[in-house]
Structure 1
Amino acid sequence: MRSPLRALFNQAAQTPVPFVSRAHSFALPFGMRRDAEAQMSAMSSVGTLFAIVNRTSNATALVDWKLWRKAKSGRAEDRTEVTSHAALDLWRKPNAYMPRQEFVETTQQHIDLTGEGWWVIGRDPRSTLPLELWPVRPDRMEPVPDPERFLKGYVYLGPAGERVPLELNDVVQLRMPNPLDPYRGMGPVQSVLADLDATKYSAEWNRSFFLNSAEPGGIIEVPNGLDDNQFDELRDRWNEQHRGVANAHRVAILEHGVWKDRKLSQRDMQFVELRDVSSKVIREAFGMPKFAVGDVEDVNRASAEASMAWFAEQLTVPRLERIKAALNHDLLPLYGASANGLEFDYESPVPPNPAARNEELTAQAAAAQSLRAAGYLAADVLAAVGLPEMQARTPEEELLVDIVRGAPSTAPVILPLLGFDLSAAALASSTGAEPSNRLELGSEAPELEAAMRWKVVATLDDDTCQPCRDNDGHLYRNREQAYEDYPGGSGYVHCVGAEYGNECRCRVVKRRQS
């Protein structure tokens, strides 16, 4: 049964909506637009617009991307990077003529100028997997609304006027939502077309000022009518003597006419003020700071760094999120089951904030110091305040430090009784420094076995090699030492099973603290 709300929405999708062009108004149905070409053309005629779009599209295209397999925990830090997949190969080289950087830059130009970016997917007729991605001009794409399914497909308008139908899974659309049309996008340029025209025409007027006569126009009044020959002679003589920059401000001599000045001076037109106002309006539409387009007036190092961080956070990240959504929700599902649990993500372009990080570390260190003073173990304190593992001392080592600090004169006598190497402890007691975490355990102190925090677990069967058997149950003081023999936590470096076609099944695990 059809929802009444959906029925009303589909009915509205077929209703023409008013479209306002620069010259006149008329009605267009949903999904139709005729202003995209003019918006893209504006980039080549207005310097401020070119600078803004060039910077935003470049910043978006230069960011690196990776493919990840999601973790069950849902946390980004627990994901596993995927280095080999057809979708990753396609994103690295979308088509035979474009690397990813140029592909993303072209797409972002379209989005910034028109509010829309379009990708057309190329396939081999024998397969459904995407093999190519092509960025397509927004003015050549038309969505086809459907009263039942909302969207039936798309039509590509070729350069020669041909109309090519495309299925839903042949096209990926990226857009800034248009409040008047759910099928099309709306970009910043649409809101400042009048200002873009004013900037363009003011530049053309200045150019014409120098090319025509170096003076704005006027009228030559002749008391009696002129025949064609006399008119042509007067016009040619005037152009010859006064047209062009070299003839600017020459005195005009008229035999049978009177000059009537009809000009507005450049000061009257206020072109400098007009262009400054237009540039400001364009920057405001994009949310672009002056510093980002090369205006470094009244800019110091602190404000420049803040502007760079703001540009990355407020302008680059939202554009990357739009591309990320298209990759994960539109492109990856086309690869079927092989893409289950995968997601694209970008390397954050936001520069680190040293001041904020220092404040965070200071707060964490203060909290750790308070907890440690309250008697909690160092390892538990680090986990509680969110600091990384720093080879924290075990309870036995904490006792060792207390002995050295509290009774340095008797430490050389007590330490050997506890099974520690005297040289390291003696060095610590003589310098006042804390003993190293790597003090050697003596054979006379089996009770200090608890200080060893990592243990080897080997799978023992007929396929287990002798080095792995010998190292089963071996203890390591910390993860750094354990990972030297078991890189990444598994696979013994001295395993010889590979020589017989067997993969090492040994690993190191963290021991439970008693």
Structure 2
Amino acid sequence: MASFIRTLLNRAAVSPVSFAPNRGNGYFTSWGQPSGMTAQMRAMGSVGTLFSIVNRTSTSTAQVEWKLYRKAAKPGAERTEVTSHAALDLWNKPNPFMPRTEFVEVEQQHIDLTGEGWWVIARDPRSPIPLELWPVRPDRMDPVPSPTAYLSGYIYTSPDGERIPLRLDEVIQLRMPNPLDPYRGMGPVQSILTDLDATRYSAEWNRNFFLNSAEPGGIIEVPGTLGDAEFDQLRMRWNEQHRGVAAAHRVAILEAGRWVDRKFTQRDMQFAELRSVSRDVIREAFGMPAFALGEVADVNRATADASRVWFAEQMTVPRLERFKSALNFDLLPLFGSTAAGLEFDYCSPVPDDEAAENAELTTKVDAVVALVNAGFDPAAACSAIGLPDIAFRGATPTAGGPLKLGA
């Protein structure tokens, strides 16, 4: 293991400042140890609002199509789509067991829940070209900080506890930057763990309320001390007569004892208000408005279209940009010279605004008409405004008067 670290340090670039403690035995101690990441991922399955948000963001990100392009030779020119390349094949099917949509959905779940997403790259030992991409849980990955080169490598901890060292070119990390840790990410769930716990506990309290006689708890007072046999007999009789919803509101018969109500009711606990506040807090952490989860009082075509556009622009596009950066700056360079001049890009998920497009087209046509009436060449006017070259028919403005639409 020590030789592995020395090898990584020897070939890593030297960073201008130190990002990690200069300790000889501290390379495998990540100062961002993700002790709470397991709880953050588990929360998705226990809090309905969190599940709804993460499920919606991850599926919308996964459904977007991707294409590979050859960059334009000069600014303003169109890119050329590349339909056959090893990098494109890899991205469409990252590994034999999942298509791209599932791979992206898994990664986006990890990012939304923990602030980090990790890809581990598999290769044929005889070739440096990446052959497979595997998503791994963030709580099983540890960066290996370097006091001189920023980062030396990574350590993956398997389910059975084995620690597997990985080189820099075997791992791609996507993260929401953590202001306190340059090696780890920070997600919205980290800021609301207490609220998530309160939401889960309130739901469990309500469940136990019905399982435990559908009545608030209380105390049985006895004048003296009960022996073990008497205590067990009292508890057994009470459970037989009063435990469970079907036994609720039965009259209690106590021998040499007195029932003392604790006076806490569901109204006193205000669980309905608590869960409503928790939903608002969760949505606030993700920047998710109520309408994005279907909570719309007045639904019509205009509000529905506006909601779709907002969600695509504010929630889906930023997540796609994170994947785009990883593909173009981390994955494509691993394909060497065959990927020179290439770039991945996603098909925009933002719905077309037909009204705005029609208004823009009308404005452009009016501008062309004005230029032609001023004596400019029709083809040159179309090119200058951004309209396709259309064959011009009819009298010129100088011969037949001003050009009019529909003439």
Normalised by the length of structure 2, the TM-score is 0.90
Contact 2:372–2:397 (Cα < 8 Å) also in 1 = no
1:243 is aligned to 2:281: no
**What CA distance in whole angstroms lies between the structure 1 residues aligned with 2:20 and 2:49?**
40
Shift in alpha-carbon separation, 1:12–1:373, aligned structure 2, 3 A: farther
1:349 is aligned to 2:359: no
**What CA distance in whole angstroms lies between the structure 2 residues aligned with 1:232 and 1:170?**
61
| Structure 1 partner of 2:272 | 272
SS of the equivalent of 1:131 reads strand
**What CA distance in whole angstroms lies between the structure 2 residues aligned with 1:392 and 1:186?**
59
Question: Offset of 1:11 from its aligned partner?
Answer: 4.6
- Alignment deviations for residues 446-478 of structure 1 (CA, whole Å, 9 cap, x no partner): xxxxxxxxxxxxxxxxxxxxxxxxxxxxxxxxx
1:36 is aligned to 2:46: no
| Structure 2 partner of 1:105 | 105
| Match runs of 1:155-166 below 5 Å | 155-166=155-166
SS of the equivalent of 1:376 reads coil
Contact 1:31–1:145 (Cα < 8 Å) also in 2 = no
Question: Offset of 1:247 from its aligned partner?
Answer: 1.1
- Alignment deviations for residues 197-220 of structure 1 (CA, whole Å, 9 cap, x no partner): 010000000000011111121000
| Match runs of 1:8-23 below 5 Å | 8-11=18-21
| Structure 1 partner of 2:83 | 83
User: Which letter maps to 1:37?
Assistant: T
| Structure 2 partner of 1:50 | 51
| Match runs of 1:159-198 below 5 Å | 159-198=159-198
Q: Which has the higher contact order (CA 8 A, sep 6+)?
A: 2
Shift in alpha-carbon separation, 1:247–1:334, aligned structure 2, 3 A: same
Question: Offset of 1:373 from its aligned partner?
Answer: 2.1
SS of the equivalent of 1:335 reads helix
Contact 1:13–1:29 (Cα < 8 Å) also in 2 = no
**What CA distance in whole angstroms lies between the structure 1 residues aligned with 2:18 and 2:126?**
41
SS of the equivalent of 2:121 reads strand
Question: Offset of 1:169 from its aligned partner?
Answer: 0.1
| Structure 2 partner of 1:207 | 207
SS of the equivalent of 1:6 reads coil
- Alignment deviations for residues 183-238 of structure 1 (CA, whole Å, 9 cap, x no partner): 00000100111110010000000000011111121000011222222211211111
Task: Provide the alpha-carbon RMSD of the alignment.
Answer: 2.4
**What CA distance in whole angstroms lies between the structure 1 residues aligned with 2:243 and 2:165?**
55
Contact 1:327–1:344 (Cα < 8 Å) also in 2 = yes
Gaps of 5+ in 2: 1-13
SS of the equivalent of 2:68 reads strand
**What CA distance in whole angstroms lies between the structure 2 residues aligned with 1:179 and 1:262?**
46
- Alignment deviations for residues 47-79 of structure 1 (CA, whole Å, 9 cap, x no partner): 00000000000000000000000111134x611
Pair member with larger Rg: 1
Normalised by the length of structure 1, the TM-score is 0.72
Contact 1:13–1:145 (Cα < 8 Å) also in 2 = no
| Structure 1 partner of 2:17 | 7
Question: Offset of 1:385 from its aligned partner?
Answer: 2.0
Contact 2:220–2:258 (Cα < 8 Å) also in 1 = yes
Contact 2:30–2:145 (Cα < 8 Å) also in 1 = no
Question: Offset of 1:402 from its aligned partner?
Answer: 5.1
**What CA distance in whole angstroms lies between the structure 2 residues aligned with 1:284 and 1:13?**
40
Gaps of 5+ in 1: 17-27, 407-432, 435-514
| Structure 1 partner of 2:6 | none
| Structure 1 partner of 2:71 | 70
1:123 is aligned to 2:123: yes
**What CA distance in whole angstroms lies between the structure 2 residues aligned with 1:9 and 1:114?**
22
**What CA distance in whole angstroms lies between the structure 2 residues aligned with 1:306 and 1:370?**
34
User: Which letter maps to 2:310?
Assistant: W
Contact 2:120–2:171 (Cα < 8 Å) also in 1 = yes
| Structure 2 partner of 1:447 | none
| Structure 2 partner of 1:294 | 294
Question: Offset of 1:7 from its aligned partner?
Answer: 3.5
| Structure 1 partner of 2:152 | 152
Question: Offset of 1:33 from its aligned partner?
Answer: 2.2
Question: Offset of 1:29 from its aligned partner?
Answer: 5.2
**Identical-residue share of aligned pairs (%):** 66
SS of the equivalent of 2:182 reads strand
- Alignment deviations for residues 279-305 of structure 1 (CA, whole Å, 9 cap, x no partner): 011011111121222223233321221
User: Which letter maps to 1:115?
Assistant: G
Shift in alpha-carbon separation, 1:386–1:288, aligned structure 2, 3 A: same
- Alignment deviations for residues 407-464 of structure 1 (CA, whole Å, 9 cap, x no partner): xxxxxxxxxxxxxxxxxxxxxxxxxx86xxxxxxxxxxxxxxxxxxxxxxxxxxxxxx
| Structure 1 partner of 2:359 | 359
Shift in alpha-carbon separation, 1:359–1:135, aligned structure 2, 3 A: same
